[in-house]
């Protein structure tokens, strides 16, 4: 398990490097967790961006799923709703639980994403949607994860930052171009 986690996290860090306009940061890392932030400006009205966010099957990367198919993701945008993934053969994954929904303003989810689920940790991801002066929308995410991990949180924070930054870039690309695949930056 330990070896698998390091391999998986290395992949997550490497895959998040070309991020198509999304800005991110590891805001802090401590002995019991970390705090990440992501921001992306989407050249589209707030209602369109919010609607797209609530359909992760359209923008989340299949590489960061258990089923290897993003079409298996669902998000019930209501308190107690599930950000879930169907797994072929009758399986399923609860990635996060919806804690707060303020349509077109904020969604807060609770849970440990991806390989973090195997650790003694929990997280909260708050995503805020703000109209921008140019008619577009600023999407701001804050993911805080805490608990226990014997090897510390520095590497985990980098992995989480890479994955969430990649997903914000995919959301931006989907809304602006119709495809979740952002143009590669050179």
Cα separation, 170 vs 21, in Å, equals 10
Triad 76, 84, 173: Cα angle to 5°: 80
Q: What is the mean pLDDT of the chain?
A: 90
- Residue 19's pLDDT band (boundaries 50, 70, 90)? low
Based on its alpha-carbon atoms, the radius of gyration of the chain, rounded to whole angstroms, reads 16
Tell me the C-alpha distance between 173 and 182, whole Å.
Answer: 5
Determine the pLDDT at residue 114. 85
Mean pLDDT of 6-17: 42
Burial of 160 per CB tally in 10 Å (0-12, 13-18, 19+): buried
Residue 24 pLDDT exceeds 50: yes
**Model confidence over 62-107: pLDDT tens digits?**
999 999 999 999 999 999 999 999 999 999 999 999 999 999 999 9
CATH code of the domain made up of 2-177: 3.30.530.20
Of 21, 9, 14, the C-alpha closest to 184 is 21
C-alpha angle 65-107-82 in degrees, rounded to nearest 5: 45
Direct distance between the N- and C-terminal alpha carbons of the chain, in angstroms, rounded to an integer: 35
pLDDT at res. 185? 63
Of 119 and 20, the structure prediction assigns the larger pLDDT to 119
Please check the confidence at residue 15 and state whether its pLDDT lies above 50: no
Give the pairing type, strands 33-42 and 137-148. Answer: antiparallel
Average pLDDT value for residue range 148-156: 92
Return the structure tokens found at 139: 């999407």
pLDDT above 90 (res 9): no
Matching residue, tokens 């226990």: 148
């Amino acid at each position: 398990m330990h070896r698998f986690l390091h391999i998986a996290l290395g992949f997550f860090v490497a895959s998040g490097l070309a991020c198509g306009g999304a800005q991110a940061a590891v805001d802090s890392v401590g002995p019991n967790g970390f705090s990440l932030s992501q921001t992306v400006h989407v050249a589209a009205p707030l209602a369109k961006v919010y609607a797209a966010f609530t359909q992760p099957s359209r923008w989340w990367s299949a590489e960061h799923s258990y089923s290897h198919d993003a079409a298996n993701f669902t998000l019930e945008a209501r308190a107690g709703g599930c950000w879930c993934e169907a797994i072929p053969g009758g399986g399923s994954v609860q990635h996060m639980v919806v804690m707060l929904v303020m349509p077109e303003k904020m969604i807060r989810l609770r849970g440990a994403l991806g390989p973090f689920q195997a650790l003694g940790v929990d997280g909260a991801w708050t995503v805020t949607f703000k109209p921008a002066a140019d008619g577009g929308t600023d999407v701001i995410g804050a993911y805080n994860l805490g608990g226990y991990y014997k090897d510390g949180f520095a590497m985990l924070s980098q992995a989480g930052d890479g994955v969430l930054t990649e997903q914000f870039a995919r959301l931006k690309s989907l809304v602006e171009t119709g495809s979740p695949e952002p143009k590669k930056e050179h």
